[in-house]
Structure 1
Amino acid sequence: MTAGPHVLFLSWRDTRHPEGGGSEVFLERVAAELAARGYRVTLFCQSHENGPALETMAEGVHILRHGGRHTVYLYAALVYLAGALGIGPLARRRLGRPDVIVDVCNGMPFLSRVYARRPVIALVHHVHREQWPVVFGPRVARIGWWIESRLAVRVYRTCQYVTVSESTRRELAGLGVDPGRIAVVHNGTPDVVGPPVPRTAHPSLVVLGRLVPHKRVELALRATALLAAELPGLELVVAGQGWWDEPLRKLTADLDIAERVRFTGFVPEGRKHELLCRSWVSLVPSLKEGWGLTIVEAGARGTPSVAFRAAGGVVEAMADGQTGMLVDDEFQFFQAVRALLLDPDRRAEMGAAATAYARRFTWSVSGAAFADVVAGQLPATPSRLADQRVP
């Protein structure tokens, strides 16, 4: 049987990376959907201790890991060109000459359009305007933002874009990307893992995600401290790992709420769903999200969320006032959390609506939409599709 077209994903991380998150979940799920539709799929990402250099997922997606946090971009170009030129059995076997490249622009793009004479799809989850100054110093932030907002837009000016929300589509258009070249493919809802478990007897909150500055877990900690006197049994679970762990633990101690806050570190899928199921409210204080996967995950377990209206894609991952609450500042965040904790009927009503809302988003639908975008980039005729000349 003739192999289908080859799609190469270039991403700085995969889901097994210690800092992997929602964008990597989207990437691997749509890659798996493409593989199920007959495509040959390869994911190139940075190496890390949780995964071998070569791996084949159960879904048939091949993963090739090289380079580190910063060098993965250079390795992608070198390994791609080695494969295209037939230099070395590893590159030739695993990368070869793809028919379509999906360049995941997570702040820093791979700029594959510069060296690959193949159709390139730029996958952008969200624009990092707000994150650059939070994570880096002023000089690096300015350079990073220039690369993302000016250089990348210029390099990918003739490419098809994919993003996960209308809010990111609007932001990209604001940077100069032609809106007609931007397709929106929403995230699906991750499969529910494990049986339902009862809510905690005491008031409980959960924050799920990577522990990095722009996730703003501090807001959840401060809200917990303010509510402690009114709700003596209140507990906050912080589920996730990241390099911002120590500052968060220090703030917890400074706020004198160490007995109320539980840092779990990384949690496997089953434990994650148990935490979402048991918690009364899910908190998403993030500065920016392309979609808001944790909101939909919590909704699938009947748990309403509180998030920030200006955070981007969370607006589409939630029906404001029905499946959760969107706020504009930290004081409103505190008020919304308090209101939900004190109103069991409203929580139950929102939880039921959140479950129904989450069912609207499936990976099958997302995969079909992404496959349509890929198919639109393939050569139109069999003779051109068979063209495997050096790029």
Structure 2
Amino acid sequence: MHVLFCNWRDTAHPEGGGSEFYVEQMARGLVERGHRVTIAAAAFEGAAADETVEGVRFVRSGAKFGVYLHIFARLLTGRYGRVDVVVDVQNGLPFFTRWATRKPVVVLLHHVHREQWPVVYPGLVGRVGWWIESRLAPRLYRRSRYVTVSQATRLELVDLGIDRDRIAIVHNGSTPAPRLGGPRSTTPRLCVLGRLVPHKQVEHAIDALADLVDQYPELTLDVAGDGWWDAELREHAAARGVADRVTFHGFVDNATKHRLLAEAWVMAMPSLKEGWGLVVAEAGQHGTPTVAYASAGGTQESIDHKDSGILVDTPAQLTKAIDEILADPSWRRFLGDGARTKAASLSWEASQSRFAEEIARAAGR
């Protein structure tokens, strides 16, 4: 079959992240099973408009918001060729593919954006966005199958009126980490990995650092990732008096990312919402435990509380949990061993097989 993924970005995009990595893992799994796969995504500076990477064709057009219109028009007019199944990847907004094709449409959704809309787009824009996601999209895709990455998101979709039996869960896998030399940092280090946007709440990690520096004079924080909230975060670090202790690495390559994870004593994930939290397993491969908010949703499944990491409810609890891990080497090793075991239990191959089954089911095969 020819499977078309309609996605906001791809992993080569400067703002690409874990959800884009998941999409491309599923796409490669379909290619390995003999299918033809196209990923339609936004264009960006320096990117090829049409290229094939590891058997997956990438077609890029439109910018951050224009990509929705571009993909809809191209699908409607058949410019992607004959398509057998469409995967509409909903990052807040759908691509309205149900109106552009009569072919089966599978909705891939990592998490519901109820909390993000008023944070990222306060006012009317956020209210309209949430109305589209919560009211219009469930009705538009009422005959489509859904794939999501966690039970938490599945329950949120059920709350939006989507039939439980139309929602499949396909978890994230775990990619073996590159071999790295050198020991863990001899001084306490925190790290945060992800896009620098408001709903990732990196400020909470900076606040934890500021609150703990008197107890740990050598404590530092590595922030890996890029995004439009970068300047605000730097200002926040300066306002808290820890600008000299926070290193903003920007976008990093895979080797650098894993080096930072391996050196860290704790990874903080203060995100407002996560469908799963791919970086939790990446940190776990190095025996680095994660502290995250339980209310983020998917973290309740990517982290086994008090076994592979810690789940908390408030910023004060986040700081306290980090403090306890930094202060107790045996507790840190226990959680690190659990994080490593949890990461090893996740398989991209198993997830790809499960996703391929859902594609076949949608196509009636």
Q: TM-score range by the shorter chain?
A: over 0.9
Name the structure 2 match of 1:322: 307
Q: Following superposition of structure 1 onto structure 2, how do residues 82-97 of structure 1 map, counting pairs within 5 Å?
A: 82-83=77-78, 91=79, 95-97=80-82
Deviation of the 1:138 alpha carbon: 1.4
Deviation at 1:38, TM superposition (A): 0.2
Mapped to 2, the partners of 1:194 and 1:80 lie a distance apart of 42
The one of 106, 110, 113 equivalent to 1:121 is: 106
Within 2, Cα distance between the matches of 1:258 and 1:138?
A: 32
* TM-score for the superposition, normalised by structure 1: 0.92
Please state how far the C-alpha of 1:82 moved relative to its aligned partner.
Answer: 2.5
- 1:70 positional shift: 0.8
Aligned match for 1:66, one of 61, 66, 69: 61
Q: Given residue 248 of structure 2, which amino acid in structure 1 is its aligned partner? A: F
The aligned amino acid for 2:240 is L
1:191 is matched by which residue type in structure 2? P
Is contact 1:16-1:50 (8 Å) kept?
Answer: no
SS of the residue 2:252 aligns to: coil
State yes or no: 1:305 paired with 2:290: yes
Instruction: Check if 1:9 corresponds to 2:8.
Output: no
Cα-Cα RMSD: 0.9
Q: Give me the whole-angstrom Cα distance separating, in 1, the residues matched to 2:237 and 2:167.
A: 42
Give the drift of 1:81. 2.3
Report which stretch shifted further, 44-53 or 303-312: 44-53
Runs (4+) of structure 1 exceeding 3 A deviation are: none
**Alignment match, 2:83:** 98
- The unaligned stretches of length 5 or more in structure 2 are none
Q: Does 1:39 align with 2:35?
A: yes
| TM superposition shift of 1:51 | 1.9
Partner of 2:353: 368
Which has more radius of gyration?
A: 1
Give the letter for the 2:209 counterpart: T
Contact 1:194 1:274 in 2 (8 A): no
- Percent of aligned pairs sharing the same letter: 50
User: CA offset at residue 195 of structure 1?
Assistant: 1.9
Mapped partners of 2:81, 2:98: distance in 1: 17
- Give the aligned partner of residue 108 of structure 1: 93
Distance 2:13 2:347 in 1: 24
* Paired residues for 1:249-260 under 5 Å: 249-260=234-245
Q: In structure 2, what is the Cα distance between the partners aligned to 1:379 and 1:207?
A: 43
Alignment of 1:349-360 (within 5 A): 349-360=334-345
Cα distance in 2 for partners of 1:292, 1:316 equals: 9
Deviation of 1:197 (Å) = 3.1
Residue 71 of structure 2 aligns with which residue?
Answer: 76
Residue 5 (structure 2) pairs with residue 18 (structure 1):
no
**Alpha-carbon shift at residue 137 of structure 1 (Å):** 1.9
Distance 1:81 1:379 in 2: 22
Q: Which amino acid aligns with 2:42?
A: Q
**Is 1:199 equivalent to 2:189 in the alignment?**
no
Q: CA deviation at 1:50?
A: 4.2
Task: Kindly provide the amino acid, as one letter, of the partner of residue 41 in structure 2.
Answer: C
47-56 or 259-268, which deviates more: 47-56
TM-score w.r.t. the length of structure 2 is 0.99
Name the structure 2 match of 1:30: 26
**SS of the counterpart of 1:9?**
strand
Q: Deviations over 1:5-39 (max 9, x none)?
A: 10000001000111111100000001001000000
The one-letter code matched in structure 1 to 2:68 is Y
SS at 2:210's partner residue? helix
Aligned to 1:151: 136
Residue 196 (structure 1) shift: 4.5
Pair 1:170-2:155 in alignment = yes
CA-CA distance at 1:190 after TM superposition: 2.4
Deviations 1:288-341 (A, max 9, x none): 000011111100111000000000101100110000000011111110000000
1:333-354 per-residue CA deviation (whole Å, 9 max, x = no partner) reads: 1100000000111111111111
Structure 1 distance, partners of 2:265, 2:219, is 10
Is 1:17–1:50's contact at 8 Å kept on the other side of the alignment? no
Is the 8 Å Cα contact of residues 55 and 64 (structure 1) preserved in structure 2?
Answer: yes
1:212 matches 2:197: yes
Deviation at 1:379, TM superposition (A): 4.0
Kept in 2, the 8 Å contact 1:18–1:50? The answer is no
- Please tell me whether the aligned partners of residues 197 and 277 of structure 1 are also in contact (alpha carbons under 8 angstroms): no
1:105 and 1:123 in contact (8 A); partners too: yes
Q: How far apart, in 2, do the equivalents of 1:379 and 1:149 lie?
A: 28
Query: How far off its partner does 1:114 sit?
Result: 1.1
Q: In 2, Cα distance between the equivalents of 1:61 and 1:197?
A: 36
